[in-house]
Amino acid sequence: MKRKNIYIIPSLGYGGAESFLLRLIPHMKYENIIITLFNTKHDKDRLKNIKVKYITLDPFRTSIKDLYSFFQLAFSLGKKDTIFSWLYIADLIASFLKIFLFWKKFNLIWNVRNTIIDIHQYSLASYFSYLILKSLLYRIPNKIIFNSKESMNQHIKNGYYKKKCFLIHNGFTRHASINKKKNKKKSFNIIYVARLHKQKNHKLLFESLKILSEKYKFHFNVHLVGKNIDRNNFKLIQKLKELNIYQNIILHGLLDQASVHELFSKCDITLLLSNYGESFPNVIAEAMLYGTFPIATNIGETSNIVGSFGDIIPINQTPLVISRLIYKYYLEKRNNFNFWEQRIKDCQDFSYDRFKIQTIAKKFLSISNS
């Protein structure tokens, strides 16, 4: 019987954890099987180029075939098989499965992809799953993988079993080539990839762009990417017009990873102004693969990702300071273009060498094999 890697995850929506899992699977040995607890309309498209078996347990979209496949899989598990559970809800479900099938002795590895949450920041289901995991089930998994040192330290402090905790960063691969506008020094492109949610702090972004537009007289474009960030969001458009920055904004909505990478390849800087919850912000490392310099808040592993190729700012930094930092990058590009181009190359090499997906996959396999 084939050795199996099973990945249990709440859904395959366009989040950082989901996107990383789909990057990882093609580089994992053995038979790979994804189990989702909720099915989204994007699942089929996201899996079309990945060799993986898919089962959904979504109570509204599952089928007799899926249920049969799940129970057949559960009772076929052996001690060489590994379940990788992703995010708190999936960790809880996988832990119950390991308890109920205790004689199977398969490996269970939790994957934590965020810093500590509280009841006001995430869903009730996620928060109460976290409470149960840290209080009652912390000895159940064989290993626990974190993608940032801050996340790991916070969870250990709050009850996770230290001897089972390991740090493995996220991994990436390029989907586009560098495509900066080399002959247009006056053009300046900014990108912000984040769903419209209070965690991502679009309010601070828009206030910073308003000051940038009023105080500094140069042309810039801002590419906004994320769920509900499109021309159908009339409330958002009205807000941008009130701030007098709508003329600088390009609304892309939800994009697949290849399309986001294409934008990164054309942009000069990326921003991420989240005020809580980030562990390893994928968009920062992905943007840097294309020499797109980051300005980001100091959360999770962000400062380690950025190194010397961007600016780390405190949570809820003032809009005036952020606008000043953006203008600083514009001046660097305008006044010393040859140096700017060299920095682009150095930045992309720095990110690619540290977070190559093949290297990260080997670390996951090593953890499961041991």
CATH of the domain at 322: 3.40.50.2000
9: containing domain: 4-171+356-369
pLDDT band at 44 (very low <50, low <70, confident <90, very high): confident
Domain identity same for 165 and 226:
no
Q: Can you give the pTM of this predicted structure?
A: 0.85
> Among 351, 356, 324, 328, which residue's Cα sits nearest to residue 340?
328
| Distance (Å, whole) CA 192 – CA 289 | 15
In a domain, 180, yes or no: no
pLDDT band at 14 (very low <50, low <70, confident <90, very high): confident
pLDDT band at 185 (very low <50, low <70, confident <90, very high): low
What pLDDT score does 13 carry? 86
pLDDT band at 181 (very low <50, low <70, confident <90, very high): low
Domain identity same for 106 and 205:
no
In a domain, 98, yes or no: yes
In a domain, 181, yes or no: no
What pLDDT score does 116 carry? 80
Q: For the chain, what is the domain count?
A: 2
Domain identity same for 195 and 136:
no
pLDDT band at 186 (very low <50, low <70, confident <90, very high): low
Measuring CA to CA, how many Å separate 306 from each of 98, 197, 289, 326, 357? Answer: 38, 23, 11, 16, 18
Higher pLDDT: 16 or 247? It is: 247
What pLDDT score does 1 carry? 66
CB 87 within 8 A of CB 272: no
The angle at the Cα of 126, spanning 123 to 132, to the nearest 5 degrees, equals: 140
pLDDT band at 205 (very low <50, low <70, confident <90, very high): very high
Domain identity same for 272 and 365:
no
